[in-house]
Chain A
Amino acid sequence: GDSVTQMEGPVTLSEEAFLTINCTYTATGYPSLFWYVQYPGEGLQLLLKATKADDKGSNKGFEATYRKETTSFHLEKGSVQVSDSAVYFCALSSSGSARQLTFGSGTQLTVLP
C-alpha cells in the first residue's frame, strides 16, 4: 500500500538557518504530493503541492520538488523564522484527488530567535 516516510524530529534551528525536511514515499502509479503545516493548537493547512514529476510547489518561501526517480518530496526553506515553528506533514494521494491522503508521521520544527 501507499506510505510516506518523513525524517525523524524534532528539528531545532536558529532564525535565518536553512531548513530541509526529508520525505520519501511508496505509491502505485503517479501520486500527487503535498506538504501540510500544523501550527500550535490549530488544524492542518495546505502549505504546497505538486501533482506530477518535476513539478515544484512553493509557498511562503517554502519549496519542494517532486522527484519521481528518487520517490522524494523534500521540503526546503532558505531562511527560517520563529513564526515557522510548527509540525510539518508530508502526504500523498494516489486517487488523483487531494482528499484521500496518506500522511507521514510529522516533523516538529522549532526555530529559536
Chain B
Amino acid sequence: NAGVTQTPKFQVLKTGQSMTLQCAQDMNHEYMSWYRQDPGMGLRLIHYSVGAGITDQGEVPNGYNVSRSTTEDFPLRLLSAAPSQTSVYFCASSYVGGGRSMSYSPLHFGNGTRLTVT
C-alpha cells in the first residue's frame, strides 16, 4: 500500500517557467489537498478537492492551478514560477464522510516536493 506518492522529490525552476507537481493516492480517498510549508509559518492550504471534478481554493491559492479528473490524482500546476513560490509542497488525502468516525479520518501526507525558484 503506497499511500500518498508525490513526484518529483526535488525541483529547481527559473523564474517564469512552468511545471506540474504530481500527487497520487491509492486509498480511494475522496478528499485531496495541497499545502506549502515555509519556515516559521507552519503549513498553509493552497487548494483542495472533495471529489473528482470538484476543486476549491484554500488560504494561499494565487499562482497555482489544480484539477481533479480522477479520484487518485490531484496535480498542482505552477504556470509562471516566482521566487516567492520556493517552498516545500505537501499533498494530503483523507476520507470525506460516511458517519461520525469517518468525519475524523486523519489526513495522510506524502513525503513532499522541495521546490526552488531562482
Contact = CB atoms under 8 A, between A and B. Distances in A.
Contacts of A46: 106-107
A4 B110 CA distance: 23
B74 interface: no
Interface stretch (A13-21, A67-75, A78-86, A94-102): A94-102
A100 B106 CA distance: 10
B90 A44 contact: yes
B90 A43 contact: yes
A89 B104 CA distance: 18
A41 interface: yes
Interface residues of A, number: 22
Q: Decide if the interface of chain A is mainly helix, strand, loop or mixed.
A: loop
A77 interface: no
Interface stretch (B11-19, B39-47, B61-69, B76-84): B39-47
Interface string A86-113: 0001000000111111011110000000
A65 interface: no
A34 to B, nearest CB: 8
A43 B33 CA distance: 13
A101 B104 contact: no
B112 A43 contact: yes
Given A42-B111, A43-B90, A49 B106 contact: yes
B111 A44 contact: no
Contact of A99 (B4, B40, B94, B111): B94
A46 B43 CA distance: 14
Interface of B: 4, 31, 33, 40-45, 48, 90, 92, 94, 96, 103-107, 109-112
Interface of A: 4, 32, 34, 41-46, 49, 51, 89, 96-101, 103-106
